[in-house]
């Protein structure tokens, strides 16, 4: 039997708000097999992004997420230690954020944020990580950041 790439069942997410709990995701299950492309379609606000943020553990502290099962490449992400999760997230499983203008942290330079992923997940030297960053910018048509550029100074070409 082929192992699923990603599998979760009965995923629910509730946010604590000033008006009480708000259930954004209610009992969602999904399986993605290796090589398979799965599109989740739903109206705005139906919980697509929040579900995926729950899978990679990037929900804000006001959110409480539960699931019966959450496995990536057969590994139980519900029981995984945070330090082991950090080795996978951003390398083997990642998310392309919806809003490019708010996806980068305004407190850090663009150069730092792109190079950081390469430094964390590869054994590239700083110099080679910078080369990797340049290739990434060229490939993605992202404006090449100068060392000091912060996100507010970058404008992306329209897709």
Ligand X SMILES: Nc1ncnc2c1ncn2[C@@H]1O[C@H](COP(=O)(O)OP(=O)(O)OP(=O)(O)O)[C@@H](O)[C@H]1O
Rule CB under 5 A: is residue 49 a binding residue for Mg ion? Answer: yes
User: Any alpha helices (H) in the chain, and if so which ranges?
Assistant: 48-55, 82-88, 100-103, 110-121, 126-140
Between CA 13 and CA 36 the distance in angstroms is 25
What part of residues 79-108 is at the interface with ligand X (CB under 6 A)? 98
Stretch that binds ligand X, among 2-10, 42-50, 108-116, 123-131 (CB under 6 A): 42-50
Rule CB under 6 A: is residue 44 a binding residue for ligand X? Answer: yes
Name the residue nearer to Mg ion (CB basis): 49 or 117.
Answer: 49
Name the residue nearer to ligand X (CB basis): 9 or 49.
Answer: 49
Alpha-carbon dihedral of residues 54, 58, 62, 67, nearest 10 degrees?
Answer: 20
Contact footprint for Mg ion (CB under 5 A)? 48-49
């Amino acid at each position: 039997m082929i192992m699923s790439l990603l599998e979760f069942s009965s995923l629910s997410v509730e946010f604590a708000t000033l008006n009480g709990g708000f259930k954004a995701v209610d009992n969602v299950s999904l399986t993605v097999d290796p090589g398979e492309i799965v599109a989740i379609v739903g109206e705005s606000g139906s919980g697509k992004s929040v579900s995926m943020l729950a899978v990679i553990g990037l929900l804000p502290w006001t959110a409480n997420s539960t699931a019966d099962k959450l496995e990536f490449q057969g590994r139980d992400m519900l029981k995984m230690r945070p330090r082991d999760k950090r080795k996978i997230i951003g390398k083997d499983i990642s998310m392309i954020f919806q809003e490019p203008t708010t996806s980068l942290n305004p407190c850090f330079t663009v150069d730092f944020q792109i190079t950081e992923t390469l430094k964390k997940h590869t054994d590239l030297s700083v110099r080679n990580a910078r080369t990797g960053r340049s290739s990434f910018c060229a490939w993605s048509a992202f404006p090449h950041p100068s060392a000091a550029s912060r996100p507010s100074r970058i404008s992306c070409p329209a897709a």
